[in-house]
Amino acid sequence: MDFTIIKHAVEVDHGIKRLSMHFIKKHAAPERARLSSELCIQISEEFERLGLSTLPRTLPTSENEFVWIIQRDSVLGEVADAAAALAHLDKLGMSPLPQVFDNYPRAKSNLS
């Protein structure tokens, strides 16, 4: 998997870039016919290794979907990580702000 171009594109665009899963798959495994959930997990792990995260956190298997790639050490990356931690606590029933996602249902589904 060579994500050099993706990492550079994120850095150039101030720590965030919206890309199609088709584009990501082309750089991850051009020989593959389709995206599988296993390949998406491998892509996420490689992004993590490069200091990148995604929204939604679980990558879709449809090449027609778009995702946000975020530089983890940017301000936005830290905010996304904090929100993801809050979403995880909410999922466990341990949220310090129990109704916070009532107003932001799409945020919760993209963070978990």
Cα–Cα dist 41/29, whole Å: 13
In a shared domain, residues 14 and 41: yes
**Containing structural domain, residue 94:** 74-111
Tell me how far apart the alpha carbons of residues 86 and 100 are, in angstroms, rounded to a whole number: 9
4 shares a domain with 46:
yes
**Looking at the whole model, is its pTM more than 0.85?**
no
pLDDT tens digits, one per residue of 48-67: 999 999 999 899 999 999 99
Reported as a pLDDT band with limits 50, 70 and 90, residue 2 is confident
Report whether pLDDT(39) > 90: yes
Q: Say if residue 78 is in the same domain as residue 89.
A: yes
What is the C-alpha separation between 33 and 88, in angstroms, rounded?
A: 33
Same-domain status, 67 and 82: no
DSSP state of 100: G
The pLDDT, as a whole number, for residue 112 is 67
Are 40 and 91 part of one and the same domain? no
Residue 67 and residue 81 share a domain: no
Q: Is the domain of 31 the same as that of 80? A: no
What is the pLDDT at residue 6? 94
Total domains, the chain: 2
The more confidently predicted of residues 91 and 42 is 42
Cα separation of 83 and 111, whole Å? 7
List of residues 6+ apart from 101 with CB closer than 8 A: 87, 90, 107, 108
